[in-house]
Structure 1
Amino acid sequence: METASKKETLHETPIKCQDIFKALPDQQTLIRAVLTNGVAGVGKTFSVQKFTLDWAEGLGNQDVSLVIPLSFRELNLIKGEQYSLLRLLHVFHPTLQKVTAVLLIFDGLDESRLSLDFRNNEVVADVSQQSSVNVLLTNLIRGKLLPSALVWITSRPAAANQIPPECVDRVTEVRGFTDAQKEEYFRRRSSDEDLSSRIISHIKSSRSLHITCLIPVFCWITAAVLDHMLTTDQRGELPQTLTDMYSHFLLVQTKRKKQKYEAGHETSPQQLTEADRELLLKLGRLAFEHLEKGDIMFYQEDLQRCGLDVNEALVHSGVGTEIFKRESVIFQKTV
C-alpha cells in the first residue's frame, strides 16, 4: 500500500468507472475483457455496484442490454457440478429470458476456490454444452464461449496473475482515497468540526495509519475507534499502529454490545467477560486456520467448526454485526 501511495501517475490514465470499456482516443482496438485490481476493502465491489446502478438507471453503457454480476463467493458453492452456460446463468438469474449484448462481471477472483486452468482446459464454444464451472469460466474469459460478451473481473493484486495477460485488454486499479479525500471523509462523517480535526491531526501524525487510510473501510474503522476514545473519559494513548487500531476496534464493538444488551452498564472497554474472551479466542482460531489455508471467505459451516454460534454472534456481538457481512446467496446458503 505504501508503494501504491507513492506511485507516479505519469504513464497511467485516470478513468471513470463507467468508461472502463471505452477505448481511449489513441486506441483502435475493442476492449472486451477488463481486469480491475486493488487491495482489500479499497472499493472494487463498490465500483461494480456503481457501474451496474448507473447502467440500470440509464446513465451509461446503454449499448449493453444485459449486465450479469456473478461473485466468486457464490460460484464457489457449485464447484464439482456440471452446467451449461445458459443453465448456470438461470441458476443465478431465474428470470433471464435471452442472452444478447451482455456484460458478465466476475467479482472477487481472490475469493475463488475454483481451479482455473487456462492452458489445459477443454474448449467449450456452445452455450448449451455442459461442463464444470471452472471450464465454463476459463472459456468465457478466453473469449471461446460467448465471444461477443464483455467480461469484467475484479481481484486483489495477489490473485490477479491467475488470468493470462493475453486474455485481458485493459487493466485498471482502484486506488482508494487521496489525502484530500481522507480528510473529506472524516469531516463529512462527523458534525463536530473539532472532533474531526483532532482525528485528522492524529492520523497525519502516524505514518502507518495515514497510508492505510487510503482504504475507505479502514477510514471507517479508524473513525469508529477515535470517535469513541475522544468522546468518552477513556484515558490512555491513542492507537499509533494498525495492531493497536484493530485491537481497540474489537474492544469498542464488545463495549457497544454491552451497552445495547446489558441495560447500558458503563464499563471500561478493557473489562472483558469470560464470554467475550471465549468469543475472541474462537474468532482468532477461525482467522488463524483460514489464514493457513489461504481462504479469505467464511461459510456458515466454517464458523460452526470453530464453535461459533452464527445467530448468537450476529445478535449479541458488535463484532458480529459490524465486522461480518452476512449474505444469503444461491441455494439459501449463508456466506
Structure 2
Amino acid sequence: MNNKQTQHELLKGFMIDGFRNDLIDWFVQEQRDLPWRKDQDPYKVWVSEIMLQQTKVDTVIPYFNSFIEQFPNIESLANAAEDKVLKAWEGLGYYSRARNLQSAVREVHERYGGIVPDNAAEISTLKGVGPYTTGAILSIAYGVPEPAVDGNVMRVLSRVLHIREDIAKPKTRKLFEAVIRDMISQDNPSFFNQGLMELGAIVCTPTSPSCMLCPVQEHCRAFHEGVQRELPIKSKKKSAKQVSLVAGIFKNEQGQYLISKRPSEGLLANLWVFPNFIKMDELGTSKQQLESLMKTGYGLEVEMGDYLCDIRHVFTHLVWDINVYVGTFHGAPSADRKDVVLVTEEEMLEYAFPVSHQNMWKEYKKFM
C-alpha cells in the first residue's frame, strides 16, 4: 500500500475540523511563554528551531536570549567571526548546527538581501534547513500551511490516528507529512503546527502521557483503544561505539596552557581542546602514553603530574571515556602549527570548548 492509500485510510472517518479547532483553541490558552514567541521574526524563529533540535526547551532559553543579544539579526550573524559564534553556542552541543546556521544566514544575506525566503523551494536549499525546519519557519513566521514534522508531532499523531509505522524510518516521516497536509489549518497553520509540538512536549509525552488533561482526547484512537503507551513504534538505535582517550591539561612556567583547534570538518569541528589522544594499550599506561604522545604529536617534552579525573561524554553514536592528567611542558610548539596556541587562563575564556573539555577544566579548577 503506498503513502497516498495509507494516508486516505488513516483519515477516513476522522473529524479533522473538530480536532484542528480543539488543538488550536487549547494552544491559544495554554502555550508556554517562550522568548522566540514574542514576535514572528523569521530569523528568530529559525535560530530557535535550530537550537531546539535534540535539545530541551529549558536548556535552549538562556542560549537563545544570549545568542540574539549578540547577533540580533541576519546581518550581525552573517558578519560575525565563526569563533565568536561557536563561543556563543558553547555547551549547547551539536556544533554543526551553529556552523550550518551561519553558512545559511550568510547566503540569505548575500543572495536574498537579508530576507529569509518565504517559500519552500528557496528556503529548503539553505544549509542545515531540512523539511522540519522549512515547515516550522514558513508556518510560524509566514503563515504558510507547510508540515513541520518532528518527534513530538509523530508521537502525537501516532496516537491520535493509531499509526503503527516505525517512526525511525524516513518513509514514515513522508507519511506524516502527507497526513498533515490534509489536516493543517489553512487559516492558522502557525498555531496548528505549534499546537502539535506543544501537545507532544507537555501533555502527550513519551512515557506517561497525561491523557486526562489532553484537549484532543475525544479524537484519539489510541486512547479509546487503550494502546497509547504502546505508540509510537520506534526501532532501537545501534549501540554507540566506545572510544578510550587520554588527555592532559599542560601549563608552562609562564602560566600558559596548551590548547589546539580541531579540524574544520567532522566531529566538533573548529572547537578548541586540551591535548588528547586515542589510547593504545600496547604503549603502556595512560600516563605513559600521554607523555609519549605529547612528544610525537606536539614535539614537546612534558613532566607528567597527577591523575585528574575520568570524563565520559556521550554523543549520538559515540561514547568518549577520557583519562585526564595534569602536567607541565617546556618550550613551544612548532611555529608551523597554526592549530596550536598558548593561552593564559583569562585568554582561554575567548575560545569555544566542547562540553567534555569544559568539564575537564572544571575539575582542574577544583584540583588547583
Where on the TM-score scale, by shorter chain, does this alignment land: which range? under 0.3
Q: TM-score, normalising length from structure 1?
A: 0.24
Whichever structure has more strand as a proportion of its residues is: 2
Q: TM-score, normalising length from structure 2?
A: 0.22
User: Larger radius of gyration, structure 1 or 2?
Assistant: 2
